[in-house]
Amino acid sequence: MNAGPTNMERLRALYDPNYISRVETLNGDAPVQVCVESRMLHDPSGTGVATYARVLSRCLEAAGAEPLILDDGRASGPVRRSRVMRWLSAARGTGRVAAVQSPSAEDAPMQWLAPDVFREAQVFFNLHGRLLPVQFDLPPEVMHWTYPAPLHVVGAKNLYTIHDLIPITHPELTPIPGERHGAILREIARQAHGLVTVSETVRMQVIQHLEMPADRVTTTLQAVETPLQSDPPLPPLLRSGRYFFFCGRVERRKNLARLAEAHADSGTKLPLVIVGPEVDGEEALELLLGDFPGIVRIPWIPRQELIGMMRRARALLFPSLAEGFGLPIAEAMTLGCPVLTSSGGAAAEIAADAALLVDPSDLDALTGAIGLLDRDDALCTQLRGAGFTRGRAFTTEIYARRLGALYANALGKSPPFAEAPL
């Protein structure tokens, strides 16, 4: 009897740049019907979860799938539905019906509409403690929820991406209520055909904390889109290679207070540019960052400018206290930007040996590492080359093959990791 791949074989296949999936034909020559929800597709915040959803949806056709969309109506304008109406609808306990919509363009994915369904699902779970069922007139073969929403599509193989378990493993680092979030995740784990994680670190946490069978949790990692471009001019007073860089939500789990102190103590004359949205509840952190003269704070810039700034930074400084993947780490490596990040968890997994790793809670170690990056040109050159090599594990081509294997396995056509590296 085949015992399946070992953890070492799983990791080797997962991170091999020459990863090839052997996906069987599912419905003759017809692609797999894979539906994703629109909530994250239309999120303008630019967070890692929203980026994940958009990149996944763009990779579906390359994965051998026909993309479909479940929409709540917000894309075409505000949904005019009061809280009372939402509560009354959820209180019935009978679920929702999604109606098929005509595509907005000839090449646009087919869409099903269930107005306000994502917000109603939260109310439904509060009232009934279970997932809100959604019925299609003709359900898709696979429903891939890009975020663990308390919903499921009747008659489909429901897959849910779990980006992290930070509300459970590090409740002090997030405002998300851990008890309620854990209850939703446990109900999802009970009903899901399978769970999808963006790192092996999160996969092992899911297996442990949600008591999920290992063969029902699959790691696909994430893809990184950093296209070649003519980089826009840098903001005033910044010069290429003469600043350190951080991007992400400005919140406590990113360890920015300690990073700012370490940057100041390192003696570097290079500024630290922090790009990321202001977060409700983190006003004290914003005030603290403003007290450091070496910090340049930018709340938001267009994606093209963000890529250009990351590409030309001396190094990315990303000593986060908890991550599910750490998208800026992978992005910086693909752009040739040296990376400093945390020595444990998902950040260390994604960076591997292509980054300078430090204990994020050790101020002296962080200070010394920043000073080293400031002075050592040879180290930066070494990290740049190692990052380019590591970044090949996160291409959209490889990611599409992982998705193809995931969906084939969900339909019983191909086991996960049925590929062999070249």
Res. 418 pLDDT band, cuts 50 70 90: very low
User: How do strand 194-197 and strand 151-153 relate by DSSP bridges?
Assistant: unpaired
Task: Indicate the burial class of 357 (C-beta count within 10 angstroms; 0-12, 13-18, 19 or more).
Answer: buried
User: 179 and 109: one domain?
Assistant: yes
Res. 413 pLDDT band, cuts 50 70 90: confident
Res. 177 pLDDT band, cuts 50 70 90: very high
User: 288 and 314: one domain?
Assistant: yes
Contact 114, 96 (CB under 8 A): yes
Total domain count, the chain? 2
pLDDT at residue 229 in the model = 87
Res. 416 pLDDT band, cuts 50 70 90: very low
pLDDT at 228 exceeding the cut of 90 = no
pLDDT at 10 exceeding the cut of 80 = no
User: pLDDT, tens digit, for every residue of 266-310?
Assistant: 999 999 999 999 999 999 999 999 999 999 999 999 999 999 999
User: 255 and 217: one domain?
Assistant: no
CA–CA separation, 160 vs 188, rounded Å? 8
pLDDT at residue 44 in the model = 65
pLDDT at 14 exceeding the cut of 80 = no
> Does 318 map to a domain?
yes
> Does 228 map to a domain?
no
> Does 27 map to a domain?
no
Res. 30 pLDDT band, cuts 50 70 90: confident
User: 37 and 129: one domain?
Assistant: yes
User: pLDDT, tens digit, for every residue of 245-272?
Assistant: 999 999 999 999 999 999 999 999 999 9
Q: Residues 312, 323, 402, 121: is their CA dihedral positive or negative?
A: negative
User: 382 and 406: one domain?
Assistant: no
Tokens of 12: 């080797």
> Does 419 map to a domain?
no
Res. 419 pLDDT band, cuts 50 70 90: very low
CB atoms within 10 A of CB 130: 15
> Does 2 map to a domain?
no
Average pLDDT, integer, range 203-230 = 94
CA–CA separation, 275 vs 108, rounded Å? 33
CA–CA separation, 258 vs 252, rounded Å? 10
Average pLDDT, integer, range 231-255 = 96
CA-based nearest residue to 210, from 270, 148, 258: 148
User: 285 and 330: one domain?
Assistant: yes
User: 156 and 280: one domain?
Assistant: no
pLDDT at residue 343 in the model = 97
Contact 357, 284 (CB under 8 A): no
CA–CA separation, 204 vs 7, rounded Å? 11
Domain with 370 in it: 244-393
pLDDT at 420 exceeding the cut of 60 = no
User: 186 and 262: one domain?
Assistant: no
CATH number assigned to the domain comprising residue 355: 3.40.50.2000
pLDDT at residue 48 in the model = 82
CA–CA separation, 316 vs 313, rounded Å? 7
User: 79 and 57: one domain?
Assistant: yes
* Range of weakest confidence among 230-234, 296-300, 336-340, 413-417: 413-417
Structure pTM? 0.90
Contacts of 318 by beta carbon, 8 Å cutoff, 6+ apart: 246, 248, 254, 326, 328, 329, 332, 339, 340, 341, 342, 347
User: 187 and 298: one domain?
Assistant: no
Res. 29 pLDDT band, cuts 50 70 90: low
User: pLDDT, tens digit, for every residue of 313-324?
Assistant: 999 999 999 999
User: pLDDT, tens digit, for every residue of 323-367?
Assistant: 999 999 999 999 999 999 999 999 999 999 999 999 999 999 999
- Average pLDDT, rounded, for the chain: 89
User: 77 and 146: one domain?
Assistant: yes
User: pLDDT, tens digit, for every residue of 363-397?
Assistant: 999 999 999 999 999 999 999 999 999 999 999 99
> Does 231 map to a domain?
no
SS (H, E, C) the chain: CCCCCCHHHHHHHHHCCCCCCCCCCCECCECEEEEEECCCCCCCCCCHHHHHHHHHHHHCHHHCEEEEEEECCHHHCCCCCCHHHHHHHHHCCCCEECEEECCCCCCCCEEEECCCHHHHHHHHHHHHCCCEEEECCCCCCEEEECCCCCEEECCCEEEEEECCCHHHHCHHHCCCCHHHHHHHHHHHHHHCCEEEECCHHHHHHHHHHCCCCHHHEEECCCCCCCCCCCCCCCCCCCCCCCCEEEECCCCHHHCHHHHHHHHHHCCCCCCEEEECCCCCCCHHHHHHHHCCCCEEEECCCCHHHHHHHHHCCCEEEECCCCCCCCHHHHHHHHHCCCEEEECCHHHHHHHCCCCEEECCCCHHHHHHHHHHHHHCHHHHHHHHHHHHHHHHHHCHHHHHHHHHHHHHHHCCCCCCCCCCCC
CA–CA separation, 230 vs 25, rounded Å? 40
Average pLDDT, integer, range 132-159 = 96
User: pLDDT, tens digit, for every residue of 61-111?
Assistant: 999 999 999 999 876 665 667 888 999 999 998 999 999 987 666 677 889
Res. 45 pLDDT band, cuts 50 70 90: low
User: 62 and 205: one domain?
Assistant: yes
CA-based nearest residue to 176, from 69, 284, 251, 76: 251
> Does 230 map to a domain?
no
CA-based nearest residue to 143, from 26, 34, 31: 34
> Does 25 map to a domain?
no
CA distances from 264 to 298, 315, 324 (A): 18, 16, 28
Contact 157, 176 (CB under 8 A): no
User: pLDDT, tens digit, for every residue of 17-28?
Assistant: 544 333 333 445
